[in-house]
Chain A
Amino acid sequence: MGMEFSLIIVLALVAAAFAGVKLAGMTYFFGVVLPYVAIFTFLGGFIIRVLQWAKSPVPFRIPTTAGQQMSFPWIKQSKLDNPTTTLQTIGRMALEVLAFRSLFRNSKLELREGPKVSYRLEIWLWLAALAFHYSFLIIFIRHFRFFLEPVPALLHGIERADGFLQVGLPGLYLTDLLFVVAVTYLFVRRIIIPQMKYISLPADYFPLFVLLGMGISGILMRYFIKVDITKVKELAINLVTFHPKVPEGIGVIFYIHLLLVCVLFAYFPFSKLMHLGGVFLSPTRNLPNDNRIKRHVNPWNYPVKTHTYAEYEDHFREKMIEAGLPVDKE
């Protein structure tokens, strides 16, 4: 149900862009108003969300320790899985953010007769996640060619590397392919693994459909239903220089692509996609395991009622004396 609901919404969005541009000629709305609303919602929403998280303190330092602690000089510490210094913690975070370290540990359960439990390496989720995030990042960076004039050499370099296969004309970007394959994989595993399907919410399918829609419309635009790329660039530059004017004659497929991108941006701060910001703030990962070495302060620590030794002794004094236990008050 969640999946159908999400799919219908995304299809409706596509239809809206099509009808809006093709029938109602609302190019200014789809080409200017929406992009501005989306980008400011994204930036504002992202910042507000991160600040909201940051407002809540971290009362206890509770890193998940994933390797040997700092102990004696003759015991080797796992500095990246159980850091004690800031530098080591940065190293752990870098592995986490750049290489999805925790997900790399993933394994798959197998239960056989007996019952016998075993585990095998499960690398596909990690691989698909990496493929998706990195191809998305490169595609994102590649898009800067539309906003920059002249296009920096670095961008040309990325494009050349990405298109090294030299298939077709215009040259096929490897990341386009990877992006669609990875997103498709992430979607398919959600519907064919029964447990995955059981835990999935509309909020899990929706961004996948938006991403897939972005990918497909982008690919269509680049390789099949071509649009006037110079006009697209003109619009992009108009937008970033705050001289919003929409050039005539950009194909509707562009507006569909743009709408999906805008939806993703605007939806971002209100959704699970905020894991992008959240991963940096996660207290089980971004803190060193040095509680016994350095005191961590809880800003809301408050005194609590305890049962003091004096109360304890008052209660048990006679029995203690009889048993020969020392007491403070005879």
Chain B
Amino acid sequence: MAAIPKAKDLVIDYALPKTPWWDTPAVFRPGYFAYPGKAKNVTAVGMPNPREWSPLDDDWKLPHNWKEIILDGLRERLDKFRTLKLFMDICVRCGACADKCHFYIGSGDPKNMPVLRAELLRSVYRKDFTLAGKIMGKMAGARELTEDVLKEWFMYFFQCTECRRCSLFCPYGIDTAEITIIGRELLNLLGLNIDWIMGPVANCYHNGNHLGIQPHAFKDMIEFFVDEIEAVNGVRINPTFNRKGAEILFITPSGDVFADPGTYTLMGYLMLFHELDLDYTWSTYASEGGNFGFFTSHEMMKRLNSKMYAEAKRLGVKWILGGECGHMWRVINQYMDTMTGPADFLEEPVSPITGTKFENAKSTKMVHLVEFTADLIKNNKLKLDPSRNDHLRVTYHDSCNPSRGMGFFEEPRYVLHNVCNNFFEMPAGTTREQTFCCGAGSGLNTDEIMELRMRGGLPRANAVKWTQEKHDVNMLSCICAIDRAVLTPLMDYWVPGVGVTGIHELVGNALVMEGETERTTDLRGEPLAGMEEAENEDL
């Protein structure tokens, strides 16, 4: 892993190369590319061209007819996706998107301007699919597809987190995420992918979740958190697994099961459901809310996503409740019903506690946990003591996918305002629909590209720093598992002293449970405000 300069020494240079972009080949250097997909992971899901290779090698071990594969693949996708066809044709290069990309802001590399990222593909499209490009060549912005171009694609389609911030500013709604998604799909036809995506995909396909947690271990891990909760407040929780006939199937990203600080969020889920006496079950088969297949191809996304409805059907539940996760919710909101629906074996979701009908989920039959909780609070069904979060000064990061792929802004804020007393917004222009990416979404949350992640995360971190300086904020909340995993090192790098939490961790802290003992610490074992003394005595 390449060493990263200290935050204060990180140089961001907006100087442009002397050569035009189409004559500036991509140079692979450590810290800026993710390790390629291992043959065993590619094989595990039957995707093309499994082999061991490295972007640093000259020979990428491509099939001999690689060019034909790409051009045929592009033709097929132009016929399948109006988005692609339109976005290839109508960009006027007005530049409104250029400085909206966190990777451009943090790296200064002009090919991270969304407009140029798309031009990498557009130039090839013009050459082979437009009359002007065929006749006029370079003058029409057309470019021959060569191995160098392919390498450039690999570099820059894996330096885009599909956050869609640029698409918000585009006067024609050109969505770079769509271009990156299809670009990666083309690269995958040649086996050009990264292991941080292919590993989770293979794991998820066979074991049910990205982390490859096997069923018995999954149960063990959740039960470990049951013990942890008991240690905090004396309440014993009994979650069930793969239980047929439960009313609700609960699915959350496996990151919440696996690593801090997501695990505390998971404890919050468990406590909430217990307190409500909710008739729900976990599944070890559909034990992944996230979908790294989304970062390889539409087909792989569907192959992984199919488990959710399949498991809901097998268990005979009425509807599905989904945990805090970003791209998971983009997939559920904008793809799932279309790909794997109709979910006619489920019922239109109704909260068993409040009787509220979730009108906005009546076709997918899948409800966001934060919606569910907001409704509970609105109907006074939860006893909350927000002062238990008084040791925290909280801000909120709108995760990209629920923001620009759903419009999920008020529900989390409503919950936050009810579970903590010290809540502060980041500056306008960096929140809600204009939120900045964590810098590591779309499968780029791997450590070998840490410098790139720190650069991409700069705009987000900078806004957090503003709240730290102005309001003494020490906790960054979010509703995305990748965020919880990657914002932690990002904060350590740019804004030391700020922790990261899911919203349901804060709910878990504030939730007054029946039969609980007096709490002296939060779910992390940190003393509550005013309890520092008591903690010290215990020690």
Contact = CB atoms under 8 A, between A and B. Distances in A.
Are these two chains actual partners, yes or no? yes
Contact of A198 (B78, B83, B110, B302): B110
Contact of B334 (A61, A72, A111): A61
A98 B81 CA distance: 26
A156 to B, nearest CB: 33
Interface string A76-88: 1010011010000
B414 to A, nearest CB: 7
B433 A117 contact: no
Contact of B96 (A57, A103, A315): A103
A114 B434 CA distance: 22
A304 B299 contact: yes
A71 B410 contact: yes
B21 A200 contact: no
B409 A106 contact: no
A115 B12 contact: yes
Contacts of A194: 16
A112 B166 CA distance: 22
Interface stretch (B28-36, B62-70, B147-155, B357-365): B357-365
B89 A274 contact: yes
Nearest to A189: B95
B515 interface: no
Contacts of A200: 93
Contact of A283 (B82, B98, B241, B404): B82
A274 B90 contact: yes
Contact of B83 (A68, A82, A109, A284): A284
B484 interface: no
Given A106-B169, A270-B131, A323-B220, A115 B462 contact: yes
B99 to A, nearest CB: 4
Contacts of A25: none
Contacts of A74: 378
A291 interface: yes
A157 interface: no
A295 B342 contact: yes
Contacts of A84: 360
Contacts of B244: 326
Given A61-B334, A65-B405, A293-B363, A275 B140 contact: no
**Residues of A contacting B: mostly:** loop
A204 B339 contact: no
Nearest to A82: B407
B525 interface: no
A278 B105 contact: no
B339 A298 contact: yes
Q: Chain A CB within 10 Å — which of B94, B115, B208, B462 has the most?
A: B94
Given A81-B433, A309-B314, A323 B411 contact: no
B161 interface: no
- Interface residues of B toward A: which range? 35 or more
Contact of B285 (A2, A54, A57, A309): A309
A61 to B, nearest CB: 6
Interface string B311-349: 100100000000000000000111101110110000000
A58 interface: yes
A316 interface: yes
B429 interface: yes
Contacts of B447: none
A67 B405 CA distance: 10
Contact of A292 (B12, B337, B414, B434): B337
B82 A105 contact: no
B91 A69 contact: no
B292 to A, nearest CB: 15
Interface string B247-290: 00000000000000000000000000000000000001100000
B49 to A, nearest CB: 18
A199 B119 contact: yes
B242 A284 contact: no
Contacts of B299: 304
Contacts of B85: 52-53, 56
B519 interface: no
Indicate the size class of the contact surface on chain A: 35 or more
Given A52-B85, A71-B360, A275-B172, A316 B92 contact: no
Contact of A107 (B94, B378, B429): B429
B334 A69 contact: no
Interface string B146-179: 0000000000000000001001111111110010
B46 interface: yes
A102 B105 contact: no
Contact of B172 (A71, A195, A278): A278
A78 B407 contact: yes
B375 A272 contact: no
A306 B168 contact: no
Contacts of B20: 1, 198
Contacts, number: 300
B399 to A, nearest CB: 13
Contact of B171 (A58, A129, A300): A129
Contact of B407 (A67, A306, A312): A67
Interface string B394-415: 0000000001111111110010
Contact of B360 (A56, A195, A292): A292
A281 to B, nearest CB: 6
A60 interface: yes
Contacts of B236: none
B196 interface: no
Contacts of A125: 94-96
B338 A117 contact: no
Contacts of A96: 171, 173
Contacts of A161: none
Contacts of B488: none
Interface centre among B12, B171, B360 (most CB of A within 10 A): B171
B83 to A, nearest CB: 5
A112 B238 CA distance: 53
Most buried by B among A74, A100, A103, A292: A292
A274 B172 CA distance: 11
Interface in B43-89: 46, 78-86, 89
A75 B410 contact: yes
B170 A102 contact: yes
Contacts of A178: none
B10 interface: yes
Given A296-B337, A307-B205, 6 more contacts: A56-B84, A78-B407, A100-B171, A102-B170, A198-B110, A297-B338
Q: Which 6 A-B pairs have the closest CB atoms?
A: A69-B407, A323-B216, A278-B90, A65-B407, A284-B173, A109-B99
Interface of B: 10, 12, 14, 16, 20-21, 46, 78-86, 89-96, 98-100, 105, 110, 113, 115-116, 119, 130-132, 139-141, 164, 167-175, 178, 205-206, 208, 214-216, 219-220, 241-244, 284-285, 298-299, 302-303, 306-307, 310-311, 314, 332-335, 337-339, 341-342, 356, 359-364, 366, 371, 374-375, 378, 403-411, 414, 429-430, 432-434, 458-459, 462
30 contacts: A56-B78, A56-B85, A60-B335, A64-B164, A64-B173, A65-B404, A67-B432, A72-B378, A75-B411, A111-B14, A117-B459, A119-B429, A195-B113, A204-B93, A272-B93, A275-B92, A279-B90, A279-B171, A282-B90, A283-B86, A285-B173, A289-B407, A291-B333, A291-B335, A291-B337, A292-B361, A296-B338, A297-B338, A298-B339, A306-B310
